[in-house]
Each structure stands twice: as C-alpha cells, then as structure tokens.
Structure 1
Amino acid sequence: MKKTAIILGATGLTGGILLEKLIANDRYLSIKLFSRSKIEGLPNKVTQFIGNLLNLEQFNAVFTADEVYCCIGTTKAKTPDKDHYKEIDYGIPVTAAKLSKENNIETFLVVSALGANLNSSVFYNKTKGEMERDVQKQNIRNTFILRPSLIGGERNERRTLEKIGLTIFKVIQPLFKGKLEQYKITEPNNIAQAMINLANSTSHAEVIITSTEIKRITKN
C-alpha cells in the first residue's frame, strides 16, 4: 500500500534532504509539507500547507498521514529569546505529536540532539529533553527520537561559529574512539535516510536513536 508522509521543517538542511528522498521513494504516493514558506518546483505528489507553525493546530483537519517526520529546530543565534526558542524547539514537535495521536498516525519521528536531558542545567539540552519526554507521553505506536551530534553539511544561511566548529571537528574526530565515537559529526543525509529506514522497519524496538545508531541504521 502506498503511503502518505508529513514533513515539518522541509525548508531546513535535513528536512530538505528528507523531502528529496521521499519524492524519489516509490513507497510514498503523497507528501504533505507544513511550513512558513513555499518551496517552488515540487512534483504533484507534494502538497504544501503554508502558515505559522506555532499555531499548528490550525491544520488539524489536514494533518493526516501514515508517518510524521519532524525536522524542526532553531539556533541560539537565530532565536536569542529563550521563550521564542522554546516555542519552536519544544512547542512545534510536541504539538505535532499530539495532532498525530489525535488523528491516529502510528509513526512519529523527530530530530532531537545529543545531550538532550530534561534535568540538564543547560537550557538547550533541557528543552530538547522536555520535548522528548512530552512526545513520548503521546504513546504513538512507532515513536523514534533521533539524537545526532553536531550536524554537518552546507547551509544556505551564514553561520560562522558553527562553520568553524565543524571545521575543527573534522580535523579532530579521527581521534574519537570508543565512547567518544558518538561525538563524531552526523551528516544530514544519514539522519534523513535513517528516519526513512526506521519508518519502514518492522524490527527496530528502540525509541531513542543515538548518533552512532543513526550511522548504522543508514546502512540497513
């Protein structure tokens, strides 16, 4: 049976790669995008719903699919206000999970981050940890939370500090062995492919997918 997928965050790096993969994947008859801005030049199998994702409930009637892929995320540089940051990184994924539960969507995948911990004193890690907790509270049958390390790849916007960090990591990461393996850069292509593989797997029981697991699942 052909499937329908929802993507949140298709205008971002990982979400964009995921969109390309789902378009090329014959399993998917329909792809629904929910975003603030339109993407031009997409095929007929893609339907776009444009609006404020902070008010995701407005799309309740059309928020129907077999799978939801949530690739929403911001940065401190882009969103310095902590309240607004939390509305995005916590609010949108949790609302999407609630809508998925209400509309009987049985597969929900969300990109979190290495270090997510609801008891952390670090705001970013705490926010991600709280998001993970409240997504899991929805008890969606197939829930997968991916925790990549620093995400690689080229971005359209200028993010100087992140680019410097990626350059340094690329130099030193061959030294990361054993437990340090999880801190190696996670490529966005691997995240996207791992999400698709998980959504179409009948044997993966883990809910939390670590950065090292992402790389392994990509090869399945």
Structure 2
Amino acid sequence: MGKTAIIIGATGLTGAILLEKLLNDDRYKTIKLFSRKEIEGMPSKVKQFIGNILELENFKKDFIADEVFCCIGTTAKKTPDKELYKRIDYGIPVTAAKLAKENEINTFLVVSALGSNANSSIFYNKTKGEMELEVLKQNIPNTYILRPSIISGDRNENRIGEKVGLVIFKLLQPLFIGKLKKYKTIKAKEIAQSMINLANSKTSKEKIITSNKIREISKNNKLLKIK
C-alpha cells in the first residue's frame, strides 16, 4: 500500500523538484499539495487543497498523511514586511508541525537555513531559529530540519542580484574545506533527494542537518547514521 505525502511550498525551487521526484516514486500513492493557487496539469496522484496557507489550521481535516515535507520560504527582498515574513517563514512551518502532531503524522521535514539561530540579533536568522525550536517542541518522532547554504538551481523568478552573488560564491568554493564545507552552495535537487531519503530511512528522532551532510544524504538512499 503506497504512502501519502504532504508538500507545502511545491511551487518554489526545492518544492517543485521534490514534487517531481515524488511523482516518479512508486512508494507514494498520493501527494497532497497545500497552496494558495492550483498547479495545472497535475496527474490524479496529486490532490490539491487551495486556500490561504497563512491560515493552514483551516485545513486540519485534510491534513492527513504519512509524511510532511515543508519547503515554504520567502526572502527579505520578496517580502520586506517583517511581520508578513515571520508569518510565512515561522508561522506556516510551525502550524504545519502542530497539525502533523495533532493528526499523528510521525515524519516531518522542513527546510530552514544555514545560520538560523533563535538568539541571533539578525531578524531573519532569528526567525528561522525560533521556527526550528517550535517545530522540535512538537516532539514528532521523525523530525528533520535541513539547513542548506546558498541554494542553486533554475528559478522561475529573475533574481539578478542573487545570480551574481551565486556566481561569486561558486568561485570561492575551493576555499571551503574542513569545517567550512557546510558553507558550500548546494543544489535544490540535492535537498529534495535528501528529504526523500531521510523520510524513508528514519534512523533517529530529531536531527538538524547542515549543507555538507544534506549533500551526503542525497547520494545515499540506504539507512543513514547522522552524527
């Protein structure tokens, strides 16, 4: 009997790749998408729930699955209003985790960011860190928080400044060795594959995983021991 997966943020870079991978994964019978607008051309395997995901709690009766993949996120440039930013980057993942707990979903994966720290003086890092703490408080048996570095991939949006920054960052990659490995850029497809591998291995309870480990996990779909 195939599994049911929930994806939040399926229209973003990582979420879209994750959706494509799950569509081609025979272990998954149903994929539920929660978003503000419908994605056209989806096969019958996909069930879409459209509405205001800032009020995700309204979807509680349909928020039933084996696994939750939360890839939601915005940027300071796209969402300059800090209150709205927090409702997205903190509010949505936390509400999703609470719904998962209430509906007895035992596997929850969320994409955070390298540098997240609830005690940070930087608003965006602090927001991510507070989100992580609140997600962990739900005590979902198989919780995985992924902290990628700068994410590379083909985006639909035209972010010129980000593209320039990414080129410069890539030129510096050879300098990132040893403990600096976690700062190397990471591909969105590596994050997506890592999430799938983690969801299907369940080696321990709560884990916070940085970019270098995400990359390793994406290459190994067997049972993984994460230090």
Asked if Structure 1 and Structure 2 have the same fold, meaning a TM-score greater than 0.5 normalized by the shorter chain, the answer is: yes
TM-score range normalised by the length of the shorter chain: over 0.9
The aligned counterpart of 2:42 is 42
- Runs (4 or more) in structure 1 with deviation over 4 Å come to none
In 1, distance between residues paired with 2:8 and 2:37?
Answer: 12
Deviates more, 1:177-186 or 1:87-96: 177-186
Q: Give, in whole Å, the separation in 2 of the partners of 1:36 and 1:163.
A: 27
**2-structure distance, mates of 1:99, 1:195:** 19
Moved more, 9-18 or 36-45: 36-45
Normalising by structure 2, we get a TM-score of 0.95
Contact 1:70 1:111 in 2 (8 A): yes
Task: Map residues 198-217 of structure 1 onto 2, 5 A cutoff.
Answer: 198-204=198-204, 207-217=207-217
Could you say what secondary structure the match of 2:151 adopts?
A: coil
Matches within 5 A, 1:175-186: 175-186=175-186
* Structure 2 residue runs without a partner (length 5+): 221-227
TM-score by length of 1: 0.98
What CA distance in whole angstroms lies between the structure 2 residues aligned with 1:141 and 1:74? 27
8 Å CA contact 1:198–1:204 kept in 2: the answer is no
Q: Contact 2:136 / 2:206 at 8 angstroms: preserved in 1? A: no
Percent identity of paired positions between Structure 1 and Structure 2: 70
Q: Is the 8 A contact 1:8 1:69 kept in 2?
A: yes
Name the residue aligned to 1:65.
65
Per the TM alignment, residue 29 of structure 1 is displaced from its structure 2 partner at its CA by 0.4
Counterpart of 2:32, as a letter, is K
- CA shift at 1:205, angstroms? 5.0
> 2:217 and 2:154 mapped to 1: Cα distance?
23
Q: How many residues align?
A: 220
Alignment of 1:89-100 (within 5 A): 89-100=89-100
Alignment partners' CA distance in 1, 2:98 and 2:205: 21
Matches within 5 A, 1:4-83: 4-83=4-83
